[in-house]
Structure 1
Amino acid sequence: MRKPRHNVKIENFLPHRTPMLMECKVPYLDGESVETQFKIKEASIFTDKNGYFSEAGLIENAAQACSAITGQDFFDDDDHEGKGNKVVGYISAIKKAEISLLPKIGDTLVTKASLVSRYDTGEMSICTIEASSFRNDDLVVNCTMNFLIHEV
């Protein structure tokens, strides 16, 4: 089992770049779970003219948090800067997505995700991960997704 990591710079380990990258704080990450914090900014491509963060943005935020659980295994333990980043990930299925409310610019989402199942082939991982995002104590989204993560 992978040792817990704290305060990970997730942007170093995701293939996303601006404007898709959601710069999250990652206070906790281990081999089976992750917690992220994401403050919704006005510049986000997922906000509308009324300042609401979209459904697609909520799913993407959860997906980026989830991918850290499995994606970290494609990097050496001492690669804290993501220099070995040759990983691509895809949402292969959204099995469940329940959205309770749309947060607004300035809100912070706390996403907690945990690994449900995983199958590794050596160069590729297929996994199912459950995630829930909260604004304060309010549940914002609860989802279960399948991912395919592989080296390029």
Structure 2
Amino acid sequence: MTLISSQEAIGKLIPQQPPFVLVDKLITYETDCIIAGFDIPEQHVLVEESGFLSEAGVIEHFAQTIALHQGYDYALRNMRPPVGYIGSVKNFEIYELPRTGDQIHTRISILQRLFGVTAVRGEVKLGEKIIAIGEMRTVIAKETE
């Protein structure tokens, strides 16, 4: 069962806006885990002419899955979702690029949270096939007033 599949609702939980959104479903949420999905459209800034989502698109989808976890977590606490940045990417391997029309799912497990830095490990799947794995750190931006 999908928790959220509305583009409008997803847009309130992540800082990215069209045409740069690469998550369209919140499938599972737990305190230390999330599964998010994305139906790859034909027209997207990170879809190559060949019809494949680019490597940058796969990595950004992974990062936006983290952002969706943080945004949903903040929303559950009645707080405005934070803006964050990719701090580092580690041991990221892409085995296969998905095509337009494919639906990918990414499962992220949180390894550590400390002082606004979140370290995760995750995998991107196309059906039951793992097409990418890796680790990432994201950093929540400090608000400036």
One fold, TM greater than 0.5? yes
Contact 2:23–2:64 at 8 Å: present in 1 too? Answer: no
Partner of 1:143: 134
Counterpart residue identity of residue 126, structure 1:
V
Partner of 1:27: 27
Residue 102 of structure 2 corresponds to residue 107 of structure 1: yes
Residue 45 of structure 2 corresponds to residue 45 of structure 1: yes
CA distance in structure 1 between the aligned counterparts of 2:139 and 2:35, rounded to whole angstroms: 20
Residue 33 of structure 2 corresponds to residue 7 of structure 1: no
TM-score normalised by the chain length of structure 2: 0.86
* Bigger helix fraction: 2
Change (3 A) 1:76 1:52: closer
Partner of 2:68: 68
CA distance in structure 2 between the aligned counterparts of 1:129 and 1:33, rounded to whole angstroms: 9
CA distance in structure 2 between the aligned counterparts of 1:95 and 1:23, rounded to whole angstroms: 21
TM-score normalised by the chain length of structure 1: 0.82
- 1:76 deviates by 4.9
Partner of 2:36: 36
The runs of 5 or more residues in structure 1 that have no matched partner are none
User: Mapping of 1:64-143 within 5 angstroms?
Assistant: 64-78=64-78, 84-85=80-81, 87-120=82-115, 125-143=116-134
CA distance in structure 2 between the aligned counterparts of 1:89 and 1:51, rounded to whole angstroms: 29
- Of 61-70 and 95-104, more deviation after overlay is shown by 61-70
**CA RMSD of the aligned region, Å?**
2.0
CA distance in structure 2 between the aligned counterparts of 1:151 and 1:11, rounded to whole angstroms: 20
Identity %: 24
Counterpart residue identity of residue 63, structure 1:
A
The runs of 5 or more residues in structure 2 that have no matched partner are none
Contact 2:22–2:57 at 8 Å: present in 1 too? Answer: no
Counterpart residue identity of residue 32, structure 2:
E
Number of residue pairs the alignment of both structures matches? 139
